[in-house]
Amino acid sequence: MGHLLLARPFKLPLLSVLFYLVIPISSLFGAIELSGNFGYNKMLYGTSKQNSLTTRSYTSSMAFYFFSNTAFELNYYNSTNMRLANERYQITGVADYSVIQSYSEVKYQSYGIGLKHAFAPRGYPVRPLISLGYAKKFTDSSGNTIFEHDSNGSQINVAHNSQKSREDSVFGTIQLQLRITNRLSLTGSVNTVFKAFEWDEAKNSLKYLAGFSWII
């Protein structure tokens, strides 16, 4: 009796897919640069350092160099701001209950397209760069507040409705690359994504990141 062979679904790893896509495209440009950066910051505040503000960010980008120092860039940006306040206070109009804890979380994502320019050739040990362009920014905010009864200590956890929005934005990045090998560099960046043409908002969205870049 013959055996029926069932073909298994062929799964190609994501990195392999990117490899086979990027290599043919790279022949159309002088070079392709892949970058990834990460940033983390946590600040404690309050009389007993009982409150915290935590920010976690990361970016990835792909730059296609059509001149030796100028590239067309595609990028992705993700940032989460988390604020935790452990402070007891009363709210006017709410009898017998006090707030003992509040938590808020704001997530940002953006997809950008623009230009990237380097102010030194790739062979230099230190290479400053700047990127600027258009981004679509998505915001998702949520949180909760915990109330405690002033007499019996019972608690109520009130969740805040999630609020989502999207807006046309501008992204900007100032980056410094420190060459490790001919293709690999250590990077330090200052990144901002803000509402289009609201230039005064640029400084309010600064993120400080570190990572690597790789030249194909």
CATH of the domain at 73: 2.40.160.20
In a domain, 39, yes or no: yes
Q: How many CB atoms neighbour CB 42 within 10 A?
A: 10
The pLDDT assigned to 191 comes to 96
Chain centre distance of CA 157: 30
Establish if 195 belongs to a structural domain. yes
The total domain count for the chain is 1
Q: Answer yes or no: is 100 within a domain.
A: no
188 is a domain residue: yes
In a domain, 124, yes or no: yes
DSSP state of 50: -
Q: Which two tokens stand for residue 70?
A: 């100028």
| Parent domain of 132 | 30-86+105-144+170-199+208-215
Spell out, as residue ranges, where the chain has pLDDT lower than 50: 1-12, 14-15, 18
For the chain, list the strands marked E by DSSP. 31-45, 51-65, 70-85, 89-90, 97-118, 126-149, 155-179, 184-195, 207-215
> Could you read off the pLDDT of 77-129 as tens digits, one per residue?
999 999 999 999 988 877 889 999 999 999 999 999 999 999 999 889 999 99
DSSP secondary structure string, 115-154? EEEESS-TTSSEEEEEEEEEEEEEEEEEEEEEEEETTT--
pTM of the shown model: 0.80
